[in-house]
Amino acid sequence: MTSTKTLIQQLQQGDKKALARCITIVENELDGYKEILTSLKFDHNIPVIGITGPPGAGKSTLINGVIKKLTDQGKSIGVIAIDPTSPFNYGSLLGDRLRMAEHFTNEKVFIRSIATRGSLGGLSATIIEIVDVMRAFAFDYIIVETVGVGQSEVEIVGLADTTILVLVPESGDEVQSIKSGVMEIADIYVINKSDRDGANTFMKNIIQLAHSKPISDWSIPVIKAVATKNIGVDELIAAINKHHSLGMNVKRPYLLTEKAFRIIQNQMMKSVSKKELKQQIEKEYKKAGFNLYRFVEEKFIKK
């Protein structure tokens, strides 16, 4: 069995098998995961790109186009595709990884699907740690695609250096419901499937929304794209690079605070097993007078 110290050395030397193993150890908090995390040495300048948006917006197709363009330029890409959790085995359903199958044999690309495991914000409970493990591998870009669950996906701002919101012309009603959350944290908007009816009107509305934000050094771009035809991909990559080149991410203190909060939160929740909680509830809820709030207070809060 490879020692944790050897795994860390192999990771930093660019061994993808070691990277995969380290991610598994960290994601599942197996023996040695704390040693891996506290030993990480990585380049803080590697851009972490968060891509979010409603289901069906074409996020995976857009990522495919970005990956192809960047790898053609000789860049190495790490992709984390966060999938819905299977209700039966708490594992990833692997949907996004299957849609990115064309890149499986590309040596410049590493794709990992991970499950949300009950996290409500579109991310995984250990996503911060997994991203940092991937940064220790020294990719040129790291892309994180969320499951697309709506307003609660604002959590991505606590992780990504550049947040991209992908919408489609039919997203009008969804924009109304999510604009107070996800719409507020985007650094770049992409209107995908922009060859559809209503795209120009929808884009004008998004531009107006983007420009209504407080003036800063970054003017939020709104990019028209048709991911299936690779239209808009070059413009998106240029916008990502320009945003990253500013070098002064005004969100940095907020990002680090969010990361620290999530790490502390996860450590404090470690003693709570969802499977055991389900078993306890199955036993108790059939009893007369069952009260969920009293159950939680007595079982967890008063301890």
The reported pLDDT for the residue numbered 142 is: 96
From 106-110, 261-265, 281-285, the region with the lowest mean pLDDT: 261-265
The reported pLDDT for the residue numbered 32 is: 92
Model confidence at 96: pLDDT above 50: no
The reported pLDDT for the residue numbered 89 is: 39
- Residue pointed to by tokens 């509305």: 205
Q: Whole-structure pTM over 0.85, yes or no?
A: no
| 50-64, 92-106, 173-187 — most confident range | 50-64
Other CB atoms within 10 Å distance of the CB of residue 44: 7
The reported pLDDT for the residue numbered 292 is: 87
| Mean pLDDT along residues 267-289 | 85
The reported pLDDT for the residue numbered 84 is: 55
| Mean pLDDT along residues 58-79 | 94
| Mean pLDDT along residues 222-233 | 96
| 31-35, 84-88, 103-107, 244-248 — most confident range | 31-35
**CATH 3.40.50.300 residue ranges for the chain:** 42-262
d(CA 193, CA 229): 10
From 44-58, 251-265, 281-295, the region with the lowest mean pLDDT: 251-265
Interacting residues of 112 by C-beta distance below 8 A, sequence separation 6+: 20, 23, 78, 79, 80, 81, 97, 130, 134
Note whether 48 and 80 are within 8 A (CB).
Answer: no
The reported pLDDT for the residue numbered 10 is: 94
The reported pLDDT for the residue numbered 6 is: 93
In angstroms, the Cα distances linking 253 to 207, 249, 256 are 27, 9, 5
Model confidence at 282: pLDDT above 70: yes
The reported pLDDT for the residue numbered 161 is: 85
Mean pLDDT over each residue of the chain, to the nearest integer? 80
| 59-63, 126-130, 177-181, 235-239 — most confident range | 235-239
The reported pLDDT for the residue numbered 189 is: 93
Q: Does 2.60.40.1730 match the CATH number of domain 42-262?
A: no
DSSP the chain: ---HHHHHHHHHTT-HHHHHHHHHHHHTT-TTHHHHHHH----TTSPEEEEE-STTS-HHHHHHHHHHHHHHTT--EEEEEEEPBPTTTS-B--HHHHHTGGGTT-TTEEEEEEE-TT-TTSS-TTHHHHHHHHHTTT-SEEEEE----SGGGGGGGGT-SEEEEEE-GGGHHHHHHHTTTGGGT-SEEEE-STTSTTHHHHHHHHHHHHTTSPP-S----EEE-BGGGTBTHHHHHHHHHHHHHT---TTHHHHHHHHHHHHHHHHHTTT--HHHHHHHHHHHTTSTT--HHHHHIIIIIT-
Categorize the per-residue pLDDT at 182 as very low, low, confident or very high, splitting at 50, 70 and 90. low
The reported pLDDT for the residue numbered 174 is: 56
From 200-204, 211-215, 297-301, the region with the lowest mean pLDDT: 211-215
% of the chain with per-residue pLDDT over 70: 75
| Sheet with strand 109-115: strands edge to edge | 109-115, 77-83, 141-145, 48-52, 162-167, 188-191, 222-224
